[in-house]
Amino acid sequence: MLLPAVALLAWTPRVAAQARTPTSLVVTAQNVTAETAGRANQSVAQPGDEIRYRLVFTNVTAGPVKNIQFVDPIPSGMVYVLGSATSDQRVRVEYSIDSGRTYAARPTISVVESGNAVQKPAPPARYTNVRWTVVGSLARGAQVTVEFHARVSEVPGQ
């Protein structure tokens, strides 16, 4: 399995003249398990490997930007590692269990217990997307880094 790295960045510029797409978004995927184990080919993941996905955005506009939002889908064959979504800025982290249609800080699922429907925390395997929303604005030239970890559950196509 090659390490996929895909993300979406949404933001609102301070003035309309800045409404161009920022070119300074860097997305990386790193196989921390293979690196720790010293495997020669760290770009090929195996079941059980933990992958760190990191997104770094630099504000290349002439002024501050607000409403910065990072949305990163959890790749097929991967399971989100609970509690691993972090940032170096103040952010609100939310998760989707329905391919990005809705988000919640703690997604729940409905299960039946003793004949009654109850809400339970969604298991990590149900997580489909991670979304970070930067609180406040990001000054000109400033950077924000967000990341999460996922574990390889299966190798697609095998």
Which of 36, 33, 42 lies closest to 81 in space, CA to CA? 33
Tens of pLDDT along the chain (158 residues) come to 444 445 555 544 443 334 445 457 888 888 888 888 888 777 778 899 999 999 999 998 889 999 889 899 999 999 999 999 999 999 999 999 999 999 999 999 999 989 999 999 999 999 999 999 999 999 999 999 999 999 999 765 55
Which of 150, 149, 145, 151 lies closest to 132 in space, CA to CA? 145
Q: What angle do CA 19, 23, 29 make, to 5 degrees?
A: 135
The pLDDT of residue 122: 97
Lookup result for tokens 């990163």:
72
Domain that holds residue 132: 8-152
Residues recorded for the chain: 158
Q: Evaluate whether residue 158 is within a structural domain.
A: no
Q: What is the largest CA-CA distance in the chain?
A: 59
Two structure tokens written together for 99: 């391919």
Which pTM does this prediction carry? Answer: 0.81
Two structure tokens written together for 114: 């003793």
Residues 6+ apart with CB under 8 A from 155: 1, 45, 46, 47, 77
Q: Evaluate whether residue 102 is within a structural domain.
A: yes
Q: Evaluate whether residue 157 is within a structural domain.
A: no
CATH (domain of 101): 2.60.40
Q: Evaluate whether residue 26 is within a structural domain.
A: yes
Q: Evaluate whether residue 133 is within a structural domain.
A: yes
The pLDDT of residue 43: 76
Other CB atoms within a 10 A radius of the CB of residue 137 amount to 17
Q: Evaluate whether residue 113 is within a structural domain.
A: yes
Q: Evaluate whether residue 1 is within a structural domain.
A: no
Is the Cβ–Cβ distance between 9 and 69 less than 8 Å?
yes
Q: Evaluate whether residue 127 is within a structural domain.
A: yes
Q: How many domains does the chain have?
A: 1
The pLDDT of residue 28: 85
